[in-house]
Amino acid sequence: MNASSPSQAKEQDDDTKPLWTYVTKIKSVSGGGNYEIKYNICDFTFNGPYTRVRAHLLKMTGKGVRVCQKVTIDRLIDLKKIDNDATLRVEKSKTKSMSLPPTLDHEIARMFYSSGLPFHLARNPHYRKAFAYAANNQINGYQPPGYNKLRTTLLQNERRHVENLLQPIKNAWSQKDAIDCSNEIKDKDFIAKLMREVIMEVGHSNVVQIVMDNAAVCKAAGLIIEVDFPSIYWTPCVVHTLNLALKNICAAKNIEKKQYKVDYILSFTSPIYDVLRRTDIEASSLHLVYEMWDSMIEKVKNAIYQYERKEESEGSTFYEIVHSILIDRWTKSSTPLHCLAHSLNSRYYSHEWLSEDSNRVPPHQDLELTRERLKCFKRFFLDADVRRKVNIEFAYFSDGRKGFDDLDSLNDRGQMDPKVWWLVHGVNAPILQKVALKLLAQPCSSSCCERNWSTYSFIYSLKRNKMAPHRIENLVFVHSNLQLLSMNTPQYHQEETKMWDVAGDNFGSLDDCGILEIASLSLDEPELEGAFFNDDC
């Protein structure tokens, strides 16, 4: 389309801003649509944009310009009618939704059917915007981008565009999402090298933990990192740990006698699955793991004992097997970081939480938590004097003294999000406050990485296995971050494009699904959990 000529631009300006005809523009000043203006009706001269012209002639007060005294009531009515008509013209010119012709409907449908496109693409906001733009604009002769343009120029442009959009979310964004490891030996040294490079780029003081799955090579790499950077912990992924626990529990030798009792199996595994769901997210959850794990074991015990109709004082061979598996998994996966994060959660010192169970004690009265907390402080604070200060701050915090004895501070422990509580009430313990704010913002699983790998496998399929690594990297980057940006918009939670990237055709309806089918759904999408699960599942 050709650019508008100056005369066309003036005509358009007069059409949408008709009150310009009642003034004389003497000269442009300061740019941005500002002029030195002489009003034809009253000969008043002023500097400003069109908004001040409207304010003066339509007698609008509080707009930074005096109202015109020579505009009579009759003339004011005429001027307002002219202004209103212009406003209506502007509104009518805006893009509007419209029903597409039936023939076009069929062509779009054929595009889906012939290419095997999933039907939930119809909820994609970019798909809808493309057709809305085409329907509401004159694009005669337009040809959609071809094969080469889509995979080269447009992809590169979109990568740059997404990087710009991400700047408000994160000031410094990694230049690479993926590394081509196809010719590398993925041993502990190689993984540790990659981790070390990222830590050095971010700054080791800004890194609290590295969360990876529990594979031997990952654990070995994590221990190398801990030696190089004593203040950084290798933390096993809780979701991976729980998956391994479920696998052990459901092994044939443990459950073969119960293979036909599905309801029973679901009853004692559902507490484990519930924790798995709650931790398989990118949200802050490190400070919740210790308590969740304790509660989970208790719920598993109650389910087994209830089914076996046994009193708490009686023994259960099967529960002992399950209990030993869960304890073993916790022992292998827990770190002092879990205990310190738990100890800094203000909720666990509140009357509300302690009164829920007579066996509960505040973290500073728990031997294991105290021992592990002190280990963390020794790694975080090598200077003995600084460590003594932070231990004193912890004593005041845990006992509600010396700046933590304020009534609001004590009452808010059970009511506020712990991170908010530390922001509001933690100023009297400046060293501990910094530690708390870091730990209370930490995840406990590598779910975000898992989702990135899922995206990678979605893009790098059998049909697209000849793509160059850099092109796959760009596709993964654009795909993942367009979803991220979309989730931060109001439209993501409403209208026709609601949760457009979640589930898809396989989950169009759960009306005919049984509980076993629901239990097999992927946990890769937290939003899917929120959409389809509730506390009664």
Mind listing the pLDDT tens digit for each residue in 335-390?
999 999 999 999 999 999 999 999 999 999 999 999 999 999 999 999 999 999 99
Same-domain status, 428 and 475: no
Is residue 79 a contact partner of residue 55, using CB atoms and an 8 Å limit?
no
Q: Quickly state the pLDDT bin for 12 (edges 50, 70, 90).
A: very low
What is the pLDDT at residue 362?
Answer: 96
Phi, psi of 421, rounded to the nearest 5 degrees: -60, -45
* Average pLDDT, integer, range 296-309: 91
Secondary structure class of 445 (helix, strand, coil)? coil
Residue 368 and residue 396 in one domain: yes
pLDDT of amino acid 354: 95
Mean pLDDT to the nearest integer, 72-85: 84
Specify which of 107-116, 194-203, 436-445, 503-512 reaches the highest per-range mean pLDDT: 436-445
Reported confidence tier of residue 223, pLDDT bands at 50, 70, 90: very high
What pLDDT sits at residue 65? Answer: 82
Q: In this predicted structure, what is the pLDDT of residue 228? A: 92
- Say if residue 415 is in the same domain as residue 362: yes
Average the pLDDT over 447-459 and give the result.
61
Q: Is 507 part of any domain?
A: no
Q: What is the DSSP letter of 521?
A: S
The answer to whether residue 96 scores a pLDDT higher than 60 is no
Would you call 188 exposed, middle or buried from its count of C-beta atoms within 10 A (0-12, 13-18, 19+)?
middle
Judged against a pLDDT cut of 70, whether residue 66 lies above it is answered with yes
- 476 by DSSP, 3-state: which? helix
Q: Are 23 and 29 in contact (CB under 8 A)?
A: no
CB 389 within 8 A of CB 398: no
Q: How much is the average pLDDT of 188-213?
A: 88
* pLDDT band (50, 70, 90) for residue 456: low
pLDDT of residue 74: 82
Phi/psi for 515 (5° steps) reads -65, -30
Assess contact for 212 and 222: CB atoms under 8 A. yes
Long-range contacts of 245-248 (CB under 8 A, 24+ apart): 245/272, 245/325, 245/326, 245/329, 246/272, 246/273, 246/276, 248/325, 248/329
Q: How many CB atoms lie within 10 A of CB 321?
A: 17
pLDDT at 254: 60
Per-residue pLDDT, averaged over 199-207, amounts to 86
Sorting pLDDT into bands at 50, 70 and 90, what band is 424?
A: very high
In a domain, 381, yes or no: yes
pLDDT reading at 494 higher than 90: no
Rounded Cα–Cα distance for residues 88 and 90 (Å): 5
Across 112-129, average pLDDT: 83
Query: What is the per-residue pLDDT for 4?
Result: 38
More confident residue, 65 or 535: 65
Show Cβ contacts of residue 515 under 8 Å, excluding neighbours closer than 6 positions.
Answer: 266, 537
pLDDT at 10: 47
Please report the pLDDT score of residue 255 as a whole number. Answer: 61
- Give pLDDT, residue 176: 38
Which of 390, 384, 355, 348 is CA-nearest to residue 369?
Answer: 348
Residue 99 has pLDDT above 70, yes or no: no
pLDDT beyond 80 at 204 = yes
Average pLDDT across the chain, whole number: 79
Residues 6+ apart with CB under 8 A from 64: 48, 52, 55
530 vs 533: CA distance, rounded Å: 6
Identify the residue whose tokens are 């598993």: 300
Check whether residue 359 and residue 409 sit in a common domain. Answer: yes
Is residue 232 in some structural domain?
no
Q: What is the pLDDT of residue 491?
A: 75
Locus of tokens 């845990």 = 398
Closest alpha carbon to 208 in 229, 192, 223, 228: 229
Q: With 50 as the cut, is the pLDDT of residue 420 above it?
A: yes
Domain boundary among 410, 443, 476: 443
Q: Is residue 432 part of a domain?
A: yes
Question: What domain count does the chain have?
Answer: 3
Rounded to an integer, what distance in angstroms lies between the CA atom of residue 537 and that of residue 519? 9
From the CA atom positions of the chain, what is the Rg in Å? 32
Tell me the torsion sign for CA atoms 319, 325, 331, 333.
negative
Which region among 95-109, 267-281, 353-367, 450-464 has the lowest average model confidence (pLDDT)? 450-464
Do 467 and 390 belong to one domain?
no
Q: Can you tell me the mean pLDDT for 233-247? A: 90
Q: What does the pLDDT read at residue 531?
A: 37
What was the pLDDT predicted at 293? 94
Helix (H) or strand (E) holding 487: helix 469-487
pLDDT digits (tens, 9 = 90+) for 324-335: 999 999 998 899
Q: For residue 337, give Cα distances in angstroms to 147, 290, 375, 376, 382.
A: 50, 10, 9, 7, 16
For residue 337, what are its two tokens?
A: 């970081």
> E strands within 263-347?
none
Query: How far, in Å, CA of 200 to CA of 292, rounded?
Result: 33
pLDDT attached to residue 259: 52
Q: Which domain holds residue 31?
A: 16-91
Tokens of 424: 């509001």
Q: What are the contacts of 489-496 at 24+ separation with CB within 8 A?
A: 491/125, 496/123, 496/128
Rounded CA separation 301/265 (Å): 13
Structural domain includes residue 321: no
Same domain? For 71 and 154 the reply is: no
pLDDT at position 163: 79
pLDDT in tens, 151-172: 888 888 888 888 777 766 555 3
Q: Are 20 and 1 in contact (CB under 8 A)?
A: no
Quote the pLDDT of residue 198: 86
* Structural domain includes residue 504: no
> What percent of the chain is predicted at pLDDT more than 90?
30
In a domain, 278, yes or no: no
* Rounded Cα gap, residues 379 and 394, in angstroms: 16
Are residues 428 and 402 in contact, defined by beta-carbon separation less than 8 angstroms? yes
Using DSSP, state whether 408 is helix, strand or coil. Answer: helix
The contacts of residue 17 (CB under 8 Å, 6+ apart) are: 50, 53, 86
pLDDT greater at residue 417 or residue 249: 417
* Residue 66 within any structural domain of the chain: yes
